[in-house]
Amino acid sequence: MPAEIFTAFTGVDMILHAGDIMEWSVIEELSTLAPVEAVYGNMDYPEVRRRLQRRRVIQLGSLQIGLIHGDGASSNTVARARQAFSDVDCIVFGHSHRPYNEVHGDTLMFNPGSPTDRRMMPMGSYGMLHLADGKIRGEHYYIEPAR
C-alpha cells in the first residue's frame, strides 16, 4: 500500500473499503489508522469472504451509506451499485477501479478508484467523503505512478 495512504488517512473517523482487499492483513493495517468498514469483492480470497459481507448499509449520524463492490453480469458497475440499495444518501462502490463522484437523484455515487491497482487509469487514486450538516460530498486524490 502506498505510504501516502497512511499519511492521508491519519485522523479520519472511519475507513470504508469497497472490496478487492485480497488479504486480511490489509484490513489489519488500515485498522491501525481508524475503524474499517468493508465488503468483499470478486477478487478476494476465501478468508476475506468469510469475514465480510457482500453489501452493507452504514449509518453515520443522520446519513446512510451503502457499501458494495459492484461486480456482476448485468448493466455496468454504476448501475449495479445503484440497484443494490434504496433510500441511502451515498453508495460507495469499487470493482472498476475508476474514480467516480456523481449525484444520481438524491444519492451520491462514489467510487474512490484504487491506490494499488490503477488498471487503465493514468494514476492510482483514493477518496474521502466529507459529512457535514446532514450532507455528504466526495473528493478524489491521485497518486503519481512510481517511475
pLDDT in tens, 23-79: 999 999 999 999 999 999 999 999 999 999 999 999 999 999 999 999 988 779 999
| Angle in degrees, CA 142, 105, 137, rounded to 5 | 35
CATH (residue range 3-133): 3.60.21.10
Q: Say yes or no to pLDDT of 121 above 80.
A: no
Look at 124 and 12; give whichever has higher pLDDT. 12
Q: How many CB atoms lie within 10 A of CB 34?
A: 14
> Which of these, 65, 64, 61, lies nearest to 127 by C-alpha position?
65
> Which of these, 62, 61, 102, lies nearest to 81 by C-alpha position?
102
pLDDT tens digits, residue range 68-111? 999 988 779 999 999 999 999 999 999 998 999 999 999 999 99
Query: Could you give the percent of the chain with pLDDT greater than 90?
Result: 85
- The pLDDT, as a whole number, for residue 91 is 98
- The pLDDT, as a whole number, for residue 116 is 86
Place of cell 448485468: 74
- The pLDDT, as a whole number, for residue 119 is 73
- DSSP-based three-state secondary structure for 48: helix
- Would you give the DSSP letter of residue 39? B
- The pLDDT, as a whole number, for residue 89 is 98
Q: Is residue 16 within 8 Å of 58, Cβ to Cβ?
A: yes
* 2 burial type by CB count under 10 A (0-12 exposed, 13-18 middle, 19+ buried): middle
Domain coordinates of the chain in residue numbers? Answer: 3-133
